[in-house]
Amino acid sequence: MELKDKIKGALYGMALGDSLGLGTIYMTRREIKSYYPDGLTRHNQFIRDMHRSMYHPGEWTGNTEVILRILDPILADERIDLQHIAGSLKRWYDEGPVDLATPYRFVIPATGWVKDPKAVSHRTWRSNHILDASNEALLRSLIIGIFARNNLEVADISRSLVNITHDDSRCVATTAVAALYAKSFLNEESEPSYQTIVQFAREIDERALEFIRLAHDGDLLDFRIDDEATWWYSRKSLGVVLWALWNCPAPSDILHTLVNAGGDTNANASLAMMLAGLRDGYQALPDIKNDIIGKERLDDYAERLTGLVETLRARK
């Protein structure tokens, strides 16, 4: 498979999972069954309640937009510069995006964050008593998988890129595990074994192991995905995504399973579809990818990101 097909598959898969998952986000399985008796499979089925009315059907949310904004300075610099990334995210924040997650609302406007994002993020999490390890940083696994040359670098880059907004080792551990998969799919390496990811996660934060084991030994219902108190947990999202990758035979099955499972559906589906697109390529994604708003922009990012990956490979 050509590299460009993988990169385009990752970006489109991310945006597709994000945009279709918006149709069921923060719903229970019972509510989804009530609103979508035959399941949600297309953007034009969306109910237009208060949350979904903030977006046009087919539009991605801040989950995808944050990754694109992080990519802007990376594509310009051809490296990861945390200050430049923070500056890009601050400009996005200043545009007034809707539906900001808690870490972004507290961290990005904090005094001095752009100049020293890791230190200010750490101080902000402590001073505001942020305790929930939420799932917004998981999609950064794509970028980590591109830059990391080995598992040690996966862990190190994950700490840097995650901690600028999410100062919690649970967020680092889950993003790093997802990045192991991104790295292997991108480079057509062997998929990480279950034993490898268990040991890898344990070395960063063993609290991630509960949901990794559940993905391996349990059923999707065991995750209680639509539990309102925990549906945005980073560990839960990783476990759900691993379960889908291991149990759903095709990207369309992954998408429809997670979108109709309830909870933080667009976060779960965007990560799973990003990894599925990276593994199986753009052509393997379901045809509703053509309904995404902003395809020209995704195409541009895919072309430039493919060029960056080729440059990085030539340097090795």
- pLDDT tens by residue, 18-56: 999 999 999 999 999 999 999 999 999 999 998 899 999
pLDDT value of position 99: 83
pLDDT value of position 189: 86
- pLDDT tens by residue, 279-293: 999 999 999 999 999
User: Is the per-residue pLDDT at 316 higher than 80?
Assistant: no
For residue 259, count CB atoms less than 10 angstroms from its CB and return exposed for 0-12, middle for 13-18, buried for 19 or more: buried
pLDDT value of position 186: 97
Question: What percent of the chain clears pLDDT 90, i.e. is strictly above it?
Answer: 97
Domain ranges (residues) in the chain: 3-315
Say which CATH topology domain 3-315 has.
Answer: ADP-ribosylglycohydrolase fold (1.10.4080)
pTM recorded for the entire structure: 0.97
User: Distances from the Cα of 147 to the Cαs of 33, 157, 161, 264, in angstroms?
Assistant: 41, 8, 11, 28
For residue 278, count CB atoms less than 10 angstroms from its CB and return exposed for 0-12, middle for 13-18, buried for 19 or more: buried
User: Is the per-residue pLDDT at 190 higher than 90?
Assistant: no
- pLDDT tens by residue, 227-237: 999 999 999 99
Per-residue tokens: 40: 């949600």
Do the Cβ atoms of 80 and 157 come closer than 8 Å? yes
pLDDT value of position 32: 97
User: Is the per-residue pLDDT at 241 higher than 90?
Assistant: yes
**Cα(230)–Cα(164) distance, integer angstroms:** 23
